[in-house]
Amino acid sequence: MLNLLPVAKLAAQLVAGLGVSKVVGDVLKSSTTVATKVDAIRVKVGIGVISGIIAEQGTKSIDRNLDKVAAWYVGRKTETEDEPTPEDES
């Protein structure tokens, strides 16, 4: 499982980043009046910047939580391997 951890982190970060970008984009587009092309560019840049900031914090949280899950899994696996099996007791 631990060799899949970077892939799981990347997948979770991708999904979270896309979700954040969609929400931020919808909020900014619906609350901003775009009169010129410059305004449209400002809104798109703002969406990118704000989404990037939020996604970066989300990435840190995702990494931290997946690391906790991986540590729990390794600890659980170690506990299970240390338990005697019925064959060992006879």
Cα separation, 60 vs 66, whole angstroms: 10
User: In which residue are the tokens 């410059």 written?
Assistant: 38
Q: What is the pLDDT of residues 63-90, one digit of tens each?
A: 999 999 888 988 887 777 766 666 655 5
pLDDT tens by residue, 19-56: 988 999 999 889 988 899 999 999 999 999 999 899 88
The residue extents of the domains of the chain are 2-74
Predicted TM-score of the model (pTM): 0.65
Q: So what's the pLDDT on residue 84?
A: 64
Rounded CA-CA distance 68/78 in Å is 15
